[in-house]
Amino acid sequence: GATGSDAFCYLQVATDLARRGSAAHTFPLASLLWQNGLPSWPAVPVGYHPPDPTGRAVTVWPLGWPVMLAGLVRLGGEGLALWGAPLCALLAAWLTWRLASELDSDSGRRSGSPMVGALAAAILLTSREGALRSLVPMADAAAQALSVAVMLCLWRGRQHDWLVWSALAGLLFAWAYWVRHPLLP
């Protein structure tokens, strides 16, 4: 993220996936440079691997988030895809509310206090980093929503002793890893 290319690359890959079914993007200038024996690397934006002779290059960023955004691109174009991160932030807040409410209900009361969940969701939604990362198509909010979903599934698996919850937690953790692995710890 130090180069600031991730948001651009995520959206470009999502668009390429939705429109061409490929995560590779073609840079025509890179192909022209390659054909003329010139270095093609300067013609590729930051955040992409060096191109092949046809000018095709893939991003250095994980593909999980662009795969999620590709569905929004298909439904409503790039404009709708820009709503992906805010929607994931709201989903993360709702999942946080659910998790906090369930954890609170385990403290001896019959049902959890909705205020505990609301406070947890409010803290999440008003976090400076969380708000900033959801204004652009960054993968942070999606990884956050998936990570909270993992914890909720593990909690439910522990409470109900159902293997299905643990298996779902494993699948969600794998998806979260594919979206943005550095955020998981």
User: What does the pLDDT average to over 7-18?
Assistant: 94
pTM of this structure: 0.86
Instruction: Tally the residues of the chain.
Output: 185
User: What does the pLDDT average to over 105-127?
Assistant: 78
User: What does the pLDDT average to over 115-135?
Assistant: 89
Q: What pLDDT digit, counting tens, does each position of 55-82 carry?
A: 899 998 999 999 999 999 999 999 999 9
The DSSP secondary-structure symbol of 128 reads H
Q: What is the pLDDT of residue 1?
A: 46
* Sign of the CA dihedral with 24 first, then 26, 27, and 30 last: positive
User: What does the pLDDT average to over 13-33?
Assistant: 92
pLDDT winner (highest mean) among 25-29, 53-57, 134-138, 148-152: 148-152
